A = this chain, B = another copy of it.
Amino acid sequence: MFDDKVRELPTLRWAMVGGGKGSQIGYAHRCGATRDGLFRLVAGAFDIDPQRGREFGVKLGVLPERCYDNYQTMFALESKRDDGINVVSIATPNSTHYEITKCALLAGIHVVCEKPVTFTLKEAEELKAIAKDHGLILGVMYGYSGFQMVHQARSLVQNNLLGEIRVINMQFAHGFHSQEVELNDPGAKWRMNPNISGPTYVLGDIGTHAFYLGQLITGLAVKKLCCSRQSFVKSRAPLEDNAHVMMHFENGAVGMLWASAVNAGSMHQQKIRVVGEKASIEWWDERPNQLIYEEQGKPSQVLERGMGYLDSHDDAISSDRIGAGHAEGFFESWANVYARFAVVINAANANDWQTVNATWFPDVDAGIEGVRWLERCVESADNDEKWVAYRE
**Of B31, B248, B280, the contact of A265 (CB 8 Å cutoff):** B280
A277 in contact (CB, < 8 A) = yes
Which residues of B sit under 8 angstroms from A275, Cβ to Cβ?
Answer: 175, 260, 262-264
Rounded to whole angstroms, the CA-CA distance of A37 and B34 in the bound complex is 11
The answer on a CB contact under 8 Å between B175 and A288 is: no
Closest to A178 in B: B296
B299, A302: Cβ atoms closer than 8 Å: yes
The residue among A7, A255, A297 with the most chain B CB atoms within 10 A of its own CB is: A297
Residue pair A228, B246 in contact (C-beta under 8 Å): yes
Q: Which one of B263, B289, B296 lies within 8 Å of A179 (CB-CB)?
A: B296
A372 located at the interface, meaning its Cβ lies under 8 Å from any Cβ of chain B in the complex: no
Asked whether, in the complex, the Cβ of A327 is within 8 Å of the Cβ of B329, the reply is yes
Residues of B within 8 A of A327 (CB): 285-288, 327, 329-330
Q: Shortest CB–CB separation between residue A217 and chain B, in angstroms? A: 15
- B residues in contact with A330, CB < 8 Å: 322, 326-329
Whether, in the assembled complex, A298 has its beta carbon less than 8 Å from a beta carbon of chain B, the answer is yes
How many A residues are at the interface, by size bracket? Answer: 35 or more
From residue 216 to 272 of chain A, which have CB atoms closer than 8 A to chain B?
Answer: 226, 228, 230, 232, 242, 244, 246, 248, 252, 254-256, 258, 260, 262-268
| Contact string against B for A residues 286-310, beta-carbon threshold 8 Å, 1 for contact and 0 otherwise | 1111000111111111111001110
Task: State the copy count for this chain.
Answer: 4
With a cutoff of 8 Å between Cβ atoms, the chain B residues found around residue A387 in the complex are 384-386
A325 to B24, CA, bound (A): 13
A278 contacts across to B, CB distance below 8 A = 178, 264
Output the nearest chain B residue to A171 by Cβ-Cβ distance.
Answer: B169
Q: Which residues in A have some Cβ–Cβ distance to B below 8 Å? A: 7-8, 24, 27-28, 31, 35, 37, 59-61, 162, 166-167, 169, 174-176, 178-179, 226, 228, 230, 232, 242, 244, 246, 248, 252, 254-256, 258, 260, 262-268, 275-280, 285-289, 293-304, 307-309, 321-332, 384-387
* A-B residue pairs in contact (CB < 8 Å), sample of 16: A24-B323, A37-B61, A167-B262, A175-B280, A228-B254, A264-B277, A265-B294, A288-B327, A297-B308, A298-B309, A299-B307, A300-B301, A322-B331, A329-B329, A384-B387, A386-B387
